[in-house]
Structure 1
Amino acid sequence: MISLGQPWILLLLPLPLLVRWLLPPHREQESALRFPFFRRMTEAAGAEPRAGAVILSRPVLSVITAALCWALLVLALARPERVGAPITIETAARDVVLAIDISGSMDARDFAAPDGSRKQRLAAVRDVVGDFVAGREGDRMALIVFGSAAYLQTPLTDDLQTVTELLGRTEVGMAGPHTALGDAIGLAIRTFESSEIDQRLLILLSDGSDTASRMSPINAAEIAADRGVEIYTIGVGDPDTTGENRVDLATLQAIAARTGGAYFFAEDEAALDAVYARIDELAPRETETLSFRPRRSLAWVPMGLAALLGLASLAYLSLRQRLRARGRAEAV
């Protein structure tokens, strides 16, 4: 479809006619000789005197060409453009950060797989989280891994394939043997600072208790709540185990409660898969839809036609004038 970006410009089309009708003709003064008894001289010569001032007429071709060129230039100023079919783009309306515990306790092989075999905790988490990430197409996600310290693996990005690949390369103990829940939340808060989106979701998975953070997880959760970060916590492992490997379910519950999120516990791979499915239900993918029509300017077409028409007219009139001058010279 072709449309005009500024159709009101077409009101300028009759402007040359208004100028012609309202403004007086252009006049030029030239030197002349005055003859006494001029009328008697013309009568003796048998000539009829004419008016001293005349309005020169233009060739019809010149008038038509000028009118067409003016119309084409006005059309170009009206910005003709080709409007394409509507294009819809979906952008993320929420940013998601995944914080995964890779402390030494994640090496335990006590996660039951669907076939009954026992899997390493981190391996089961990688499989389930990979499917979850793949289903968030259109969202921006970041990945944080933590042990004795928290590390940002990927900043907020819509390249979910990279997030999945980097998660697959993580190994138990890469970030140290201990668990720093509070530091992981603090790093997620700093990650969200680069986001201009108000809705922010942190999914925190851990199988231990906080033993290495510089800030307590509860205080970090309160700061996250003030910054508009909603935290979903997932506990894995054995809550009956003593020592550092015992998962601190009470802390995970308190973190989720302070930020308006939710707490889950998964004791096998099927339960973990169900947890992420439940998170998808509670926090469905939200997008903002932008729709626009691509526009391509066609102003060059009437401008080019006006230039070609003007040049062709000038060439024709110049050639005709030369031929007439040559004809007169030959007649003499």
Structure 2
Amino acid sequence: MFQDIEFANPQFFWLLLLLPVALAWYLFKRKQETASLKISSTQGFLTNQWLPKLKPVLFAMRILALASIILAMARPQTEDISTRTKTTKGIDIVMAIDVSSSMLARDLKPNRLSALKEVAADFIRKRPNDRIGLVVYAGESYTKTPITSDKSIVLSALREITYGQLNDGTAIGMGLATSVNRLKESKAISKVIILLTDGVNNSGFIEPQTAADLAVEFDIKTYTIGLGTNGNALSPIAYNADGSFRYGMRQVEIDEKLLEDIAEVTGGKYFRATDNEKLEAIYDEINKLEKTEIEEFKYYKYEEKFRPWVLLAGALLLLEWVFRNTVFRSFV
């Protein structure tokens, strides 16, 4: 009966303590309320033997009416809560991804590019309130997806990224500059680039330092990630006759000083990922560092349930008055 019911004024339930007092008083005074007559026999009287025994029903009806009134005073009600969220601080993010041949190295499983795509997809799913875009670069760069709030488009584009779409090389400056170009007109309060590479800048016509200065000018924070194990890694070194890659051990070379400088000058942070677990941990940390503020509004709708109890109390009191003045009139 009281499932999902709350009471606005539960303090009125203390009045229920008066009901046992009233019951005790009634039992104490009951004998004094009824006159007694001693006779030797009732054979000459035509009396209704069971009706006087029902007289306590009147008191019970009055007690139940009082209990109903107290329950109504406590204001039973149901509560319907609806929520609406408002993003008070949106973040625009561009993920700049190196797709050079070295990203096929197998020091991460199954290779660096595949491992990155898996971790990046999880990162995108955790940012439902932000706009995200993709930039890919190798010997040159281009925008794979402009910043958008449609995560299905971004995830689909991420899955399509493969090696061979661009000339080989590592144009870090070009990748960063293209990312800045995607964010420079953004009206978001916070603008972020996540730039990942596994090599050194050896291509392109824009120097990384120049691209970093552009990021500073447009107030764009850049997180940089150096990907690859320390030392040698199993990497593509030549082509087989059928066009597939021939793998061999190759020295891993990452310009960590450059990546540190880019992150420092733009207010970001540099990370080094040497395996799948560290790469995942890096994106988790960036996710925590760049939090979107969400304001939640709650709307409460109350439906009062005291009216049936008031009507029940009125009905009980009315019945008690009718019975007292009709059926039980001779005994009251």
Q: Name the TM-score, length of structure 1 as normaliser.
A: 0.57
Provide Cα deviations, 1:287-315, integer angstroms capped at 9, x if missing partner.
Answer: 4649699xxxxxxxxxxxxxxxxxxxxxx
Name the SS for the 1:144 alignment partner. strand
Name the SS for the 1:163 alignment partner. helix
Whether 1:252 and 2:259 are equivalent positions in the alignment is: yes
Structure 1 residues 245 and 160: alpha-carbon distance in aligned structure 2, compared to 1, 3 A threshold: same
Q: For residue 269 of structure 2, what is the aligned residue in structure 1?
A: 262
- Counterpart CA distance in 2 for 1:261 and 1:194 is 20
Read off the aligned partner of 2:271 and give its amino acid letter: F
Read off the aligned partner of 1:145 and give its amino acid letter: V
Q: For residue 99 of structure 1, what is the aligned residue in structure 2?
A: 96
Q: For residue 236 of structure 1, what is the aligned residue in structure 2?
A: 227
- Counterpart CA distance in 1 for 2:158 and 2:152 is 10
CA contact (8 A) 1:238 1:246 kept: no
Provide Cα deviations, 1:214-233, integer angstroms capped at 9, x if missing partner.
Answer: 12112211221121000000
Q: For residue 318 of structure 1, what is the aligned residue in structure 2?
A: none
- Counterpart CA distance in 1 for 2:251 and 2:107 is 17
- Counterpart CA distance in 2 for 1:188 and 1:266 is 21
- Counterpart CA distance in 2 for 1:240 and 1:220 is 29
- Counterpart CA distance in 2 for 1:90 and 1:283 is 14
Gapped regions of structure 1 (runs ≥ 5):
1-84, 112-117, 294-332
Whether 1:204 and 2:195 are equivalent positions in the alignment is: yes
Read off the aligned partner of 1:230 and give its amino acid letter: K
- Counterpart CA distance in 1 for 2:200 and 2:124 is 26
Shift of 1:189: 1.2
Provide Cα deviations, 1:179-227, integer angstroms capped at 9, x if missing partner.
Answer: 1111111111110123111310000010011111212112211221121
- Counterpart CA distance in 1 for 2:295 and 2:222 is 26
Which of 156, 160, 168 is matched with 1:169 structurally?
Answer: 160
CA contact (8 A) 1:87 1:291 kept: yes
Q: For residue 148 of structure 1, what is the aligned residue in structure 2?
A: 139
Q: For residue 125 of structure 1, what is the aligned residue in structure 2?
A: 116
CA contact (8 A) 1:103 1:178 kept: yes
What is the percentage of aligned positions where both structures have the same residue?
Answer: 33
- Counterpart CA distance in 1 for 2:270 and 2:205 is 23
Name the SS for the 1:152 alignment partner. strand
Name the SS for the 2:253 alignment partner. coil
Name the SS for the 2:115 alignment partner. helix
Which of 273, 285, 288 is matched with 2:280 structurally?
Answer: 273
Aligned alpha-carbon RMSD (Å): 2.5
CA contact (8 A) 1:235 1:264 kept: yes
Gapped regions of structure 2 (runs ≥ 5):
1-81, 233-248, 300-332
- Counterpart CA distance in 2 for 1:131 and 1:88 is 23
- Counterpart CA distance in 2 for 1:177 and 1:135 is 32
Q: For residue 194 of structure 1, what is the aligned residue in structure 2?
A: 185
Read off the aligned partner of 1:282 and give its amino acid letter: L
Shift of 1:283: 1.6
- Counterpart CA distance in 1 for 2:198 and 2:101 is 10
Read off the aligned partner of 1:266 and give its amino acid letter: A
CA contact (8 A) 2:83 2:296 kept: no
Name the SS for the 1:205 alignment partner. strand
Q: For residue 29 of structure 2, what is the aligned residue in structure 1?
A: none
Name the SS for the 1:95 alignment partner. strand
- Counterpart CA distance in 1 for 2:184 and 2:94 is 12
Task: Looking at secondary structure, tell me which structure has more strand per residue.
Answer: 2
